[in-house]
Amino acid sequence: MLKKRGIVLGVMRSKRKISVLIFLTLFLMVVLPASADLGTPVYSSWTTNPPTIDGVISGGEWTDATTRDFTLDMRLRGYDLSIKNLSARLYVKNDGTDIYAAVQIFDEDYNSLDIGDYYDGFALLFEDNHDHILADGDNGEGIRIWGGSPFHHNNDLYYNSSSSWLADAALPPAGANKTNDGAFAWNHTNPIETYNGTYTFEMRIPLVGSDGDAYDLAITSCATTLGFKIWFFDLNAVTDGVYPDDTGEWHNRLETEDGYKFGNLVLACPPPPPTVGGTAAPIIIPINEISLLNPLIWLASAIMLPLVATVLFVKLKKKKL
């Protein structure tokens, strides 16, 4: 009887332990889920090699950048209809003062006419505070290829809740408290109307702009996460393409106005200092986004679940024996 009672108590204790393990695993998976932002996060690279912002990808200047190949699903404005797909590539890196980004869009025709709005346009947009809410002053860099547009020469873009994304010259009140302090350059390899080639857009965006948080980024620590959205539009074909893309939203332009449909761009920190006398000096990295812990949480869950299943199987098998 005592022996049987001991077996029963042992099984009960084992079940309680297994239940606790299962509960902890589910807690990690439910309470701290993976980021709900679109796509796979883009982790910027730390650089000591700032590129020349001239609209040309020169040899060596982007080799230390993070690269991401993606596809733009160019959809007809106002209709659930995909017109074509464009292959594209993102380059991104940062140092302690600036974000450097470049986007190439391949095999796309050149459009710059203003008659009937037959021009192309590009923007890299930020949801600055990563709170999933686009607020007045959230910013980006972009261009409309038509030379008469305020977007053509004033490349710092700002979000305005009543008018969506505007250039400095078009954002009311015009010119007030806003400085075009980023750098932007672009190029098309075959700039003849309707001829195909490669668009290249290069940008430098200050981590702390001269206009303060109201109209610029105000990033003072590394490992910061920004919401980002790449937007390319072809008004000649009346189409828009975005990345990352919510495939359930067929009106691509509307994704540029919804902070919940932006991706994650995680800025890089500098590497640890070299060792001195066999001991590395400590480096403190402020982490202001809990989503950075998600890969570790899911790794722990991936390890724990098979372990729990194995323990449960062994205990049940012993009980049957």
How far is the C-alpha of 27 from the C-alpha of 23, rounded, in Å?
6
Classify 42-266 by CATH class.
mainly beta
Quote the tokens at residue 53: 């912002």
CA–CA separation, 216 vs 231, rounded Å? 19
Domain residue extents for the chain: 42-266
Instruction: Kindly report which listed range (21-30, 73-82, 199-208) carries the lowest average pLDDT score.
Output: 21-30
User: Tens of pLDDT along 79-123?
Assistant: 999 999 999 999 999 999 999 999 999 999 999 999 888 999 999
Backbone torsions φ then ψ of 293, nearest 5 degrees: -85, -10
> For residue 9, what are its two tokens?
């108590």
Which CA distances in Å does 34 have to 130, 143, 268?
A: 15, 34, 20
pLDDT top residue among 167 and 265: 265
Q: What is the mean pLDDT of the chain?
A: 80
Q: Is the pTM of this model over 0.85?
A: no
Mean pLDDT to the nearest integer, 188-195:
97
Distance of CA 234 to the CA centre of its chain: 22
DSSP structure class, residue 80: S
Q: Is it the case that residue 170 has pLDDT exceeding 80?
A: no
pLDDT in tens, 211-241: 776 788 999 998 899 999 999 999 999 999 9
Ramachandran bin of 233, using left for φ above 0, alpha for ψ from -120 to 50, beta for the remaining angles: beta
pLDDT at 294 over 70: no
How does pLDDT run across 51-69, given as a tens digit for each residue?
A: 999 999 999 999 999 999 9
Q: What is the pLDDT of residue 137?
A: 81
Q: Tell me, what's the pLDDT at 276? A: 66
User: Does position 164 have pLDDT exceeding 90, yes or no?
Assistant: no
